[in-house]
Amino acid sequence: MDDKINEIKVSNKYRNFLISGIGRILLTRITSVIYIILLVRYVPLVLQDYMIIINNFLGISATIGLFGIGYSLTQKKISTNVSNDDYYKIIYTIFILGSPINVISVLIIKLYVEISNLDLILLIFTSIFNYSLFLIYVLNDGLIKSELTILAKTIYSVLNSLLVPTFFIIFDSFNSILLAWNFSMLIALISSFSTIKNIVTHLKFDFKNSQSIIKFGFPVYLASLLTIVSQRLDTFILYLFYETGETSQYYWVLRIAQVCQELFFSIFTGLFPILTKIFSRNNHLHYNNVVNSFLRVINFSSAYFFGILIVSSEIIIRYILGYEEIIYFTIIKYAFLAYIL
């Protein structure tokens, strides 16, 4: 009887978590589509290019400033008895070490993006808030508080999607976009107030433990850094060598394809509680049969779903993005085909 109750509890726990995950993905992706539709219709192409380049550059600089601690904190928490107090001190130390990197990145951005002095000041705040969010994410994950990371990411994604186009439509300036970014990041940070409060109570520069953490995850750090740079390299090349607007148009086409992929796979996450329940019964033969059937359903459904998207890709691009160039129809078709394969 107790085993049955525990099985139900485990199943319900995973079901609730994954259902909330589906809701989160649907919410963030739907608002992302609204965000893209409004941006391509109201924000000039040159400012769209600026937004994409700045976002990509700040993502790289924040990753550099993390020094690989995301992997290290999680693994150390699992394999050792590192105290939470040490983690708070390490995050504070990493923030002090990494902040100059992120400020310097803003100065590099200014070499390639035409912005005013006010924009520069706002962009420095954007860089620091963005870096702080990255640190909060890895700290919450290291403390096994991933739900706080999920909450902060969801809040930022939804607010950013709604506020950026709204602020620009109202104020019609690039600094309104920066203000929307800063406000969204600030609210996301406040959602992890308890974590930030603990950091503030442990404001001690702890280079020794920080050095140990950095050294522990350095190989993974290099790999993740190379990955994030390679994923953004195409947009930098387009921005530097092609005409205004080519970068943003290419980026939004791929973003639409990515949103479709995320929506598709979010639906199937709802089936995982069933697999968890079957596995908890220790009937491994039945479990293997169900998993194989599950994989066949995913393969068939993905071929069918993305096949329909490939056929209707021109309609998607025309009505969501308003683009008429054949090259963008081809790009999204190949993106959908890659998801099938």
Residue in 132, 255, 138, 135 with CA at minimum distance from that of residue 182: 132
Residue 120 scores a pLDDT above 60: yes
Report which listed range, 217-226, 251-260, 270-279, is most confident. 251-260
- Number of separate domains in the chain: 2
What is the span of the domain harbouring residue 274? 1-42+244-341
**Cα 245 from Cα 45, distance rounded (Å):** 5
Residue 28 scores a pLDDT above 80: yes
Same domain, 128 and 277: no
Same domain, 339 and 298: yes
pLDDT computed for residue 2 by the predictor = 45
Same domain, 227 and 248: no
Same domain, 264 and 289: yes
Same domain, 293 and 254: yes
Write out the H or E segment, with its range, that includes residue 44. Answer: none
Same domain, 318 and 285: yes
Same domain, 228 and 319: no
Same domain, 122 and 271: no
Residue 205 — very low, low, confident or very high, per pLDDT cuts 50/70/90?
confident
Residue 273 scores a pLDDT above 80: no
Report which listed range, 46-55, 78-87, 144-153, is most confident. 46-55
Same domain, 189 and 268: no
pLDDT computed for residue 11 by the predictor = 47
Last residue of some domain: 208, 241, 274?
241
pLDDT computed for residue 286 by the predictor = 62
Residue 296 scores a pLDDT above 90: no
Cβ-based neighbours of 7, under 8 Å, separated by 6 or more: 277, 280, 281
Mean pLDDT of 115-142: 92
pLDDT digit string, tens, across residues 225-245: 888 888 888 899 999 898 988
pLDDT computed for residue 267 by the predictor = 65
Mean pLDDT of 109-134: 94
Lowest average pLDDT, out of 109-118, 251-260, 265-274, goes to 265-274
Residue 76 — very low, low, confident or very high, per pLDDT cuts 50/70/90?
low
Question: First vs last Cα of the chain: how many Å apart?
Answer: 45
Residue 274 — very low, low, confident or very high, per pLDDT cuts 50/70/90?
low
pLDDT computed for residue 162 by the predictor = 95
Would you give the DSSP letter of residue 113? S
Residue 17 — very low, low, confident or very high, per pLDDT cuts 50/70/90?
very low
pLDDT digit string, tens, across residues 33-42: 999 999 999 9
**Cα 73 from Cα 286, distance rounded (Å):** 37
Mean pLDDT of 287-301: 72
pLDDT computed for residue 270 by the predictor = 57
**Cα 70 from Cα 51, distance rounded (Å):** 26
The H-assigned helical ranges of 143-244 are 146-171, 174-190, 193-200, 207-216, 218-241
Chain-centroid distance of CA 297 in Å reads 28
Same domain, 249 and 222: no
Residue 316 scores a pLDDT above 60: yes
Residue 287 — very low, low, confident or very high, per pLDDT cuts 50/70/90?
low
Same domain, 268 and 258: yes
Last residue of some domain: 220, 241, 262?
241
Last residue of some domain: 207, 241, 275?
241
Same domain, 84 and 99: yes
- Tally the C-alpha atoms within 13 A of residue 69's C-alpha that lie toward its C-beta: 32
DSSP letter for each residue of 281-309: TT-HHHHHHHHHHHHHHHHHHHHHHHHHH
